[in-house]
Amino acid sequence: MDIDVKNLHPLEVRLLRHVDLAEQITAERIIGELDYNVGQCNQAFSWLSAKGYLVETSRETRVMYELTEFGREQQQKGTPAQRIFTFIKAEGPQALPDLASALQLEKSEIGSAFGQLSKAGFAKMNADNKAQALSEELSGEFILTAELLERGLGGELVEASMSEAEKAAMAKIAKKRGSANSPFKVIEREFITFALTEEGKCAKEAILKAHITGEELGLVTSEILSTGSWKQASFRPYGLNAPTSRLIPGRHNPYGNYLQWVKDKLCSLGFEEFDGPLVENEFWNGDALFMPQFHSARDIHDVYYVKDPVHCKEIEEPWLSQVAKTHENGWNTGSRGWRYSFDHEFTRRQVLRSQGTVLSAHQLPKAKVPGKYFGVARCFRYDQVDATHGADFYQTEGIVLGEDVNLKTLLGLLKMFAEEIAGAEEVKYVPGYFPFTEPSIEVHIKHPVLGWFELGGSGIFRPEVTKALGIDVPVLAWGLGIDRMALMHLGLNDLRELFTPNIESVRMRRGN
Ligand SMILES: N[C@@H](Cc1ccccc1)C(=O)O
């Protein structure tokens, strides 16, 4: 079997070298014989078990006794019974209160210790009501207790390896967990026995063959360099195949990065960024874009209305009057208008913006000519959520104003969005319809998994839009689903992945 033992930790190596092939291995032995502490021993066991070199062969819970502080004190001074016996042996019979003050023990302690001595026949109360020793020396239980206390100094006592007499003596003096005046605390500990597996045996042989001792140095220190001791030392090899610990530095969300990249790109092309509120009104979101107020896309199924307050205060003039007249009869835009009576209450209804074009409408009255503007706008439309639809979505919106801009300029921009920003290889530009542009062009791209889908719309704003808002030059306009572009660019197959809270999948995603 080919086993790579170079990456074993010295704690594992020393353990493997130490144990015989057929041996049962216990923590006690490893701690005692290899001078490991409990933590090191547990680590060696768990690492070797994880590698399949060790198997657990049995597990038992053992009762153990641990000397308490009180026990240590008694061990040093002697137990009350011992001390009373030694004292009355040396000084002759004593009254109990005198014993208490001479030995600095509580009366109750004297009482119970004398009781034990007299019951066992080592002392008695004489005619003068004084405690008197009855034998030459203590034996039995009293000696056992002293011995147990002494052995307790050296470490925990395992019940299973105690004699019946010791167990009986221990039962009298030890209390379960923590009693302040008990010399021993009773604890229970799990003992696991391990044995080498076949792989473990191979590993042991491989270690011996490779002369790995576990004493190799893992660290070059200034000390071993300055003393020159490195010359004699043997070193642990680098485990070039050892897995490194995973570093998870903070990083930006890939979609956030993408949005920033798009913004930077547009700014570097001379676009100015615009932005606006999420809550808009029908006027800017639709009316100013020459969408008739009775247009079906504006009914309650598509747009989210604001419940409170339902209406905004007032719409800025002269835009309100100019737009209203344009709807009614074309005003002086050269159009006949939609020929209905403009609803001044409807126009003030508050909505969540449903298209980024609302930003373009706001921009027109204050735009520079020539000028280029863009924005990334979160928009809201009621929709059934699926791989390519959300209830809210981001659009990258933009306008270019100027005497000499035309359809060719627009197509050039759309090509840049589809090919450079979305990264699509197959693109289709098809005629479309929007109430605010003429002509209108839709952009479609082909996604490797989802197939063809629409990126968004574009066109040249109609004079009904531009003139009513104070602009008299051609204005190119577009609104493209930037979520969909990101889907393509980031190599994802579902819009919902852009917004996933699953941190693992976000970490794995390639950034921009
Ligand atoms: N606002 C349109 C897209 C569009 C923008 C600008 C001009 C033409 C079309 C939409 O959301 O679908």
Q: What is the DSSP letter of 416?
A: I
Residue of 296, 354, 357 best suited for mutating to test ligand 1, as the one with most atoms within 8 Å of CB: 357
Between the CA of 437 and the centroid of ligand 1 the distance, in Å, is 9
Least confident of 144-158, 318-332, 348-362, 497-511: 497-511
Kindly list the distances between the CA atom of residue 340 and the CA atoms of 282, 311, 337, 461, 465, in Å, as whole numbers in the listed order.
Answer: 16, 21, 8, 21, 17
* 435 C-beta closer than 6 A to ligand 1: no
The predicted pLDDT at position 512 comes to 42
Distance 375 CA to ligand 1 centre (A): 13
Query: Which residues, in sequence order, are bridge partners of residue 343?
Result: none
3-state DSSP assignment of residue 375: strand
Write down the CATH number for the domain with range 69-139: 1.10.10.10
Rounded to whole angstroms, how far apart are CA atoms 458 and 400?
Answer: 12
One-character DSSP codes across 207-250: HHHTT--S-SB----HHHHHH-GGGT--BPPP-TTSPPPPP---
Q: How far is the CA of 434 from the centre of ligand 1 (A)?
A: 7
Q: Which of 362, 395, 434 to mutate to test the pocket of ligand 1 (most atoms within 8 A of CB)?
A: 434
Which residue do the tokens 């066109």 mark?
459
Question: What is 238-295 written as a DSSP string?
Answer: P-TTSPPPPP------HHHHHHHHHHHHHHHTTPEE----SEEEHHHHTGGGT--TT-
Prediction ipTM score: 0.98
How much is the pLDDT for 205? 93
Average pLDDT score over the chain? 89
Task: Return the ∠ at Cα 419 (arms to 415 and 421), rounded to 5°.
Answer: 100
Task: Output the pTM of the full model.
Answer: 0.58
Cα dihedral 330, 336, 342, 347, rounded to 10, equals -60
Which of 302, 352, 355 has most ligand 1 atoms within 8 Å of CB, for mutation? 355
**Domain residue ranges in the chain:** 69-139, 256-508
Helical packing angle, 141-153 and 80-91, nearest 10°? 120
Rounded Cα distance, 325 and 331, in Å: 5
Question: Rounded CA gap, 476 and 412, in Å?
Answer: 11
* Distance between Cα 315 and ligand 1 center (Å): 23
Q: What is the CATH number of domain 256-508?
A: 3.30.930.10
CA distances 325 to 76, 330, 490, Å, are 107, 6, 46
For the segment 135-159, the average pLDDT, to the nearest whole number, is 82
pLDDT at 438 over 50: yes
| 175-225 residue pLDDT tens | 655 566 788 888 888 778 889 999 999 999 999 998 899 888 888 899 999
The widest CA-to-CA distance across the chain, in whole angstroms, is 137
In this structure, what token pair is assigned to residue 240? 């070039």
- One DSSP character per residue, 28-88 reads HHHHHHH---HHHHHHHHHHHHHTTSEEEEEEEEEEEEEE-HHHHHHHHH--HHHHHHHHH
